[in-house]
Amino acid sequence: MSTTELLQREWTAFRRPGRLIALAAAALTVIALALLFSLGNRSSCDPGRCPAVPIAGDGSTVSDRFWFLHRDLAPEGSITVRMTSMTGTITYPPPNHDQIVSGLVPWAKAGIIVKDGLRQGSQYAALMMTGSHGVRFQYDYKHDIAGSVGGVSEQSPRWLRLSRSADTITGAESTDGRRWHTVGTVKLAGLPNTVQVGLFATSPGDLTLRKVGLGGAIEEVRFTQAVGTFDNITVEGSATGSWDSDPVGQMNHTDWEKDHNASGAVQHDGVLTVSGTGDIGPHSEEGVPSVALTLVGLTVALIVAIVVAGRYGGRTARDTDSRRVMAARAAIVGAAIFVTGLVAAGVALPVGLAALKGNGIPVQPVSVPTGARVIVGVAAVLALCAVLTYGLGVLLRRGWAAILIGTSLIAVPYAVTALPLLPDTVSEWLLRLTPAAGFAVMQTMVKYPQVTAHYAPSAGYFPLPWWAGLALLCAYTAVVVRMALGRSVRKPAANTDRR
């Protein structure tokens, strides 16, 4: 019998109504739960008044909110300032959440910036002092270059300079205003002749983790504000116009700013004080649904795949000892589950993301290649998990045993790490060591050192790159299937006694 004929025969045997109904129900469950999750998430702001999430030139969502004291700068010129101090406020931090305290979060920022206008998401290059990461030269949201290290107390005062020559921006720092050290140089292609240059201040929310469950963590974020004090401000080159003071993005809407210290810029006796809140950089994922969270029904589909494959593997072990037939049945199981996963993820992902956007929920754009990788990857992972469980059924000759082991080894680690139940470290190791690591194919969240966020499985961040997690699952599957196909059953020897 040819391979094609064998596969056709085994597919005919596999496609019983009960199995097909189970697979169809699994796909519909993934789609239905994606819709329920997406439609149930709505923005808390008034319709039509939700602030738009800034989009950078590369199409990614970014954070771009700060107070800006600025003026025009032509193609050749520079700004030099002395930053004498940087202070800040953190509202109601732990442990008691009962005080407003003085302090700076690690990535609070104040300094000087060159920016292509006031539009959020436009190109920029900035040289700044940070709360606890020293002097940094950052540009176009994703790029960060370290200057001198040390906290604000060790670094103050500090001279900062940004120089522009056409599209080239250079940041330099000095301790005395005479000896300068270049921190970084960048070319911002396409800068217009006139850009905005000036002083800025911003401060992201104070992120802390509250323990829940068996040691898991959920995020809590509080309002903060940074204040930079500057003097000896010099703008050289073809600078024109007067100083203007504006927020980039919405500001002065919180109770703290309204009742205590509004963000803005104040000048007194040659000293400028700029205060602001927000951030400039990659968009923080806090409170933003990840792609993994739009596929909440995958746990159900995974369990269905494990049950169908485990029972079929146990039946195969009783029906035949032919390796060829076993391999054909493994291929049929894998193909059927792959198609199920492809339909489920292929509908749930784009529809879920569209529903979230329609409800005013900011969602990190997913490129076509990334979206295709997630959809095909999810289908492949479900298929591999099914083949692995099928192999266990053949190896153990018991469908129930294969289902129990497959559920414990794959479904349980995936399900418990998707929730803030276990300590982050435990969840990370489960997704490094078990076949559930394969679900890293859903990874779309990027870890940036200059962004404070909860990089944990329960927040949609997987500890392994997508390809590494998939490779680990493939290794598990290959070992189990090889052992199952290598299983030998001794048959009674033929009677050769011719007496």
Summarised one tens digit per residue, pLDDT across range 28-43 is 999 999 999 888 777 6
Distance CA 86, CA 227 (A): 6
Distance CA 320, CA 447 (A): 49
Note the pLDDT of residue 489: 46
Distance CA 127, CA 112 (A): 6
Pair 351, 366: CB distance under 8 Å: no
Alpha carbon separation from 313 to 21, 319, 379, 395 (Å, rounded): 19, 10, 20, 8
Distance CA 49, CA 362 (A): 14
Phi-psi region of 197 (alpha: psi -120 to 50; beta: other; left: phi over 0): beta
Tokens of 486: 């290598």
Pair 295, 378: CB distance under 8 Å: yes
pLDDT mean by block of 10 residues, the chain; 499 residues? 91 94 97 88 62 84 95 94 95 88 95 96 97 95 90 76 97 94 96 95 94 90 95 84 92 87 92 96 69 86 97 90 91 97 95 83 80 96 98 94 97 94 96 97 90 90 95 97 74 42
| H/E element, 4 | helix 3-14
Strand partners, 217: 211
Encode burial over 319-358: b for 16+ CB neighbours within 10 A, e otherwise.
Answer: eeeeeebbbbbbbbbbbbbbebbbbbbbbbbebbbebbee
CATH topology of domain 62-282: Jelly Rolls (2.60.120)
Pair 290, 41: CB distance under 8 Å: no
| C-beta neighbour count of 63 within 10 angstroms | 21
Note the pLDDT of residue 496: 42
Pair 482, 322: CB distance under 8 Å: no
| H/E element, 233 | strand 224-237
Note the pLDDT of residue 68: 98
| H/E element, 145 | strand 143-146
Spell out the domain ranges in the chain: 3-40+288-485, 62-282
Within 8 A by CB and 6+ apart from 389, the residues are: 305, 306, 309, 310, 313, 402, 403, 405, 406, 410
3-state class (DSSP) for residue 160: strand
pTM: 0.88
Single-letter amino acid code for the residue at 455: Y
Pair 169, 125: CB distance under 8 Å: yes
Note the pLDDT of residue 493: 43
Note the pLDDT of residue 492: 43
Pair 136, 146: CB distance under 8 Å: yes
Name the pairing type of β-strands 180-187 and 109-115: unpaired
Identify the sign of the CA torsion 379, 385, 386, 388: positive
Pair 490, 146: CB distance under 8 Å: no
Distance CA 449, CA 281 (A): 11
